[in-house]
Chain A
Amino acid sequence: MKSKQLELFVGLFIVLGFASLAYLAIQVSGLGSIGKGDVYQIQARFEDIGGLTERAKVSVSGVTIGEVESIVLDKELYMALVTLNINTDMAVIPVDSAAAILTNGLLGEKYIGISIGAEEEYLKNGDEITDTQSALVLETLISQFLFESTSGDDE
């Protein structure tokens, strides 16, 4: 085989490799769509985060407006301190909004849903959402239900 033709095929092979890498980066892992655009951070403390993970989505009315940046344990209050990255074009979250940890479908991922409040003042970078609702933990729910039903029998 001629040397030029050989080089052509090898070149095609390498270009195919890079094209695959680009495809896997953009289409499969979604690097392009969730670009690190302009974000501001707000915090929220939860009693129990259940199975919430970093990079979980933050949504208002089901529309994604940001993602979870980090989750650490607040050593003084023994609560989970969750930092959220919110897109700057969504800087219109009232200060009395509430954050809840919800589940996407029956077996889906955990995400944070923000219920919009009524104040006219908006949350700024570094502010904290005080009104939070923990993740629903099935065991706690069942034990509550059992406790209530047995105490009902006693009466």
Chain B
Amino acid sequence: MTFVQNIGAITLDWLISVGRSGLFIVQSILHKPKSLRVATQLFIKQLYSVGVLSLVIIMVSGLFIGMVLALQGYTILVKFGSEQAVGQLLALTLLRELSPVVAALLFAGRACSALTAEIGLMKATEQLSSLEMMGVDPYRRIIAPRFLAGLVCLPILSLVFSTVGVLGGEFVAVDWLGIHGGSFWSLMQQSVYFSTDVVNGVIKAFCFAIATTWIAVYQGYECEPTSEGISRATTRTVVLGSLSILALDFILTAAMFGDF
């Protein structure tokens, strides 16, 4: 009987935490800001720390992933004598899969873990309760700008990732391996559709942004206010965030590209 009770208790706990995180995010984004100027300033500060500071890691990894894709694609395609199709392979893999997913995974590791640790430390040092005592709503002041900044930044980072990846791949394929530049670009342009490939990539990145940033701010806000608790919450953010990105990616890919 205790086993069944345990299962029930775990399920109920899980459902409660899901419900609480849902209410948490709805409450923090539905709040109307008291002063639009202050809210914008807070938002811009978060755009800087979440987006601008993640730019370097995104650009460097985009460059290398593009270069590796071009190199790998070339070694296989050259056996069939169709090495011009490297451009097509590069652009489609980057736009459809790699740039939203890899950018989101890097984002979860670089930005979301920092969000959790920051909010968790605020809780541990009782800054959140002090804010409440001063009559400042922590949802509005702390949570909302961070969540919204995540939603804006990840799609932009994903677009930058694709662009840098295509440029890196072009450098390897055209400038280094000597594929004809004209056929490289024309085959790419023939097979890439703006409305399906580029737009779907942005939609994917936006969905991943909702998932990871939501997990990050919730884990930070609900963490145990000790140093161990913060470290556990940060780990959970990266693990749950990455897993939810990969699971969501499967669902979104099936919905977007599945209807043959």
Instruction: Enumerate chain A interface residues (CB-CB to B < 8 A).
Output: 1, 3, 6-7, 9-10, 12-14, 16-17, 19-21, 23-25, 27-31, 33-34, 55, 57, 105-109
Within 8 A of A (CB), among B63-122: 80-82, 91, 95
Shortest Cβ gap from B18 to chain A (Å): 32
Interface of A is mostly: helix
B163 and A29 contact, CB distance less than 8 A: no
Tally of B interface residues using CB under 8 Å: 33
B190 and A30 contact, CB distance less than 8 A: yes
Q: Evaluate whether A7 and B190 lie within 8 angstroms (CB atoms) in the complex, with A13-B52, A20-B160, A23-B163 already known.
A: no
> Could you tell me the distance between the alpha carbons of A33 and B194 in the complex, rounded to whole angstroms?
13
* Given A34-B189, A105-B81; 8 other pairs, CB 8 A cutoff: A3-B41, A13-B51, A20-B159, A23-B166, A24-B95, A24-B162, A24-B194, A28-B189
> Could you tell me the distance between the alpha carbons of A6 and B46 in the complex, rounded to whole angstroms?
10
Centre residue among A10, A12, A57, A108 by max chain B CB count within 10 A: A10
Among B44, B159, B194, the residue within 8 A (CB) of A31 is B194
Shortest Cβ gap from A19 to chain B (Å): 8
Asked if B240 CB lies within 8 Å of chain A CBs, one says no
> Could you tell me the distance between the alpha carbons of A12 and B160 in the complex, rounded to whole angstroms?
12
Q: Evaluate whether A29 and B44 lie within 8 angstroms (CB atoms) in the complex, with A20-B162, A20-B163 already known.
A: no
A6 and B80 contact, CB distance less than 8 A: no
